[in-house]
Structure 1
Amino acid sequence: MRAVFGLVLVIGVALAGGAVYMAKNYISDYQQALAQERSAREAVVPTTDVYVATGPLRYGEQLKKDSVRKVRWPLNAIPEGAFTNLEDLVSDDPAKTRVVLRAMEKDEAILAVKVTKPGQGAGLTSQLERGMRAFAIRVDVSSGVSGFLRPGDRVDVYWTGSISDAVKGARGEVTRLIESGVQLIAVDQTASEDVDGATIARTVTVSVRPEQVAALAQAQTSGRLALALVGVEDDTIVDPIEVDQRALLGLGEEVETVEAKQPEVCTIRTRRGSEVVEIQIPCTN
């Protein structure tokens, strides 16, 4: 009986070992075939690692290692500013942590323009490009496009005021386009693009060059400013625009009528018998 039990045990161990060996060979062959298939696919479409969001990311969130993951991305279709190295994107040093500037959804590639530089906060200074300045413009319901302005939008700035002090003979007010395609970087104290619904703002902050700051400051103190929202894909160049009351009513330019000056004629009267004759002479004043 013991001999039979021992024989069955030996046979079972042998069968189990054979099954393990066969499974190992099968897994090894499968992995080799998978590696060959990946190599063949990469030979057709070269790919590289690109880091994407593991879930929705919102303005002001800090980037952590569990916030991102790497995926294979076609080498000839990598978005500009994408991160291919984890160390360049996420740091273990809290002083070098990046912060989200623009909302991102799950599996969206993380781009340099959507996050701050290492150790930089999500304030307005991080959104200003080199040579640009932040300038606040006062708005209300009518001048602020009924509250539909969002950080990241582009607007045209119109000035309305009187130019009688600057132009001799000018009467009434004029409206003129003074800046075109200016980018908004904040609405009131909100710099995030994640805004739901209309918000009646009191101020908007724009990103402009120093000379534009001077022009907007002068315009804001000498008249009224109104904003016009520009479409997302609108890349047209706007010509200078100016409208006064006569142009608005279609009256055309006012033409001054000048009476033609008649030549001065000097005469003397002389009597010849019973007749009085007028004779022209040079005028001597």
Structure 2
Amino acid sequence: MRAVFGLVLIIGVALAGGAVYLARDYIAQTQAEVERQKRAAEEALANVKSVPTVDVLVSTRALKYGERIAQEDVRVVKWPEDAIPEGTFSEMAAFFPEAAKGDRFVLRTMEKDEALMAVKVTEPGEAAGLTSRLAKGMRAFAIRVDVASGVSGFLRPSDKVDVYWTGSLSGAIAGNNGEITRLIQTNIELIAVDQTAGSDLAGATIARTVTVAATPEQIAALAQAQNTGRLSLALVGVQDETVASAVEVDQRKLLGIKETAPAAPAAVEEVCTIKTRRGAEIFDTGIVTPCTN
């Protein structure tokens, strides 16, 4: 019995010693791998070149169209020098000048930590109205729309649309007594939908009017078209750079009806006769030979 106990004790001690040896070997390998990775990270960090940065002003919170921008809404961050967006501000003094006659307002919705750019904010003292959205030489013009003509309410400020006119040319063009639809303006920019000029609308909005930015000549054409027919808007894709050509569809073109020339009148065969007197009566007798004078 003692011999069996001693044998079991010896086997247990041997197994414990083997386990300790394996554990020590595993720990040594793990430490060696950690040291190798640490040296590799230090070498990679030493080889990384420092990226030059500059100061850029960013928003400290989400800003919506028309909001006043206060100093607590702006902070300075380091920005890679070769990746600065155009029109950013680098100093608080440039964004909040001491000689400013008023506050700046948001023209385009911005998210938290987004860089402040000149195109997204007004000048100091300038209101965030439609006048600030109009480029030089452009005017604002309102177009009446409904669910059908207004692209089911999916129009947003800053979208671009093509404008189609549908009306009758009866009396204006001879031979055309039906309605026609014609593309009259292309890539017209929307600057407001109803009373909203911000682009952060949620869901579809059934508008009654949309306001577009156009030249005086374009506005004259739109006003004439709106007073003489119906206007419909077609939304232009964001990445669509194609230039729409002249488009006109009337009822005949819509139904594929082709105009046919009127049939020429049938030629009347000329019959020549000679007069023959028989006593007191005169008779006409047809002849086969060609007629002469």
What TM-score does the superposition give when structure 1 sets the normalisation length?
0.77
Map of 1:47 onto structure 2: 53
The equivalent position to 2:285 in structure 1, one of 251, 259, 276, is: 276
| Structure 1 contact 50–82 (Cα < 8 Å) conserved | yes
Q: Distance in 2 between matches of 1:131 and 1:48?
A: 36
Map of 1:228 onto structure 2: 234
Map of 2:118 onto structure 1: 112
The equivalent position to 2:97 in structure 1, one of 86, 91, 99, is: 91
The SS at the match of 2:291 is strand
Counterpart code for 1:181: N
Map of 1:19 onto structure 2: none
Superposition deviation, residue 261 in structure 1: 7.4
Q: Distance in 2 between matches of 1:175 and 1:104?
A: 40
What are the equivalent positions in structure 2 for 1:212-251 lying under 5 Å apart?
212-251=218-257
What are the equivalent positions in structure 2 for 1:1-285 lying under 5 Å apart?
41=50, 45-92=51-98, 95-251=101-257, 253-259=258-264, 262=267, 267-271=272-276, 276-278=285-287, 280-282=291-293
Counterpart code for 2:227: T
Counterpart code for 2:76: K
Superposition deviation, residue 250 in structure 1: 2.2
Question: Across the two proteins, how many residue pairs are aligned to each other?
Answer: 241
Structure 1 gaps, min length 5: 1-36
The SS at the match of 1:117 is coil
Give per-residue Cα distances to partners, 1:183-217, cap 9 Å, x unaligned: 11011111111211221111100001111001100
Superposition deviation, residue 95 in structure 1: 2.2
Q: Distance in 1 between matches of 2:82 and 2:105?
A: 28
Q: Distance in 2 between matches of 1:88 and 1:139?
A: 42
What TM-score does the superposition give when structure 2 sets the normalisation length?
0.75
Structure 2 gaps, min length 5: 1-45
Give the RMSD, CA atoms, in angstroms. 2.5
Counterpart code for 2:160: R
Q: Distance in 1 between matches of 2:284 and 2:126?
A: 107
Map of 1:17 onto structure 2: none
Superposition deviation, residue 112 in structure 1: 1.2
Q: Distance in 1 between matches of 2:201 and 2:234?
A: 19
Map of 1:30 onto structure 2: none
- Aligned sequence identity (%): 56
Map of 2:15 onto structure 1: none
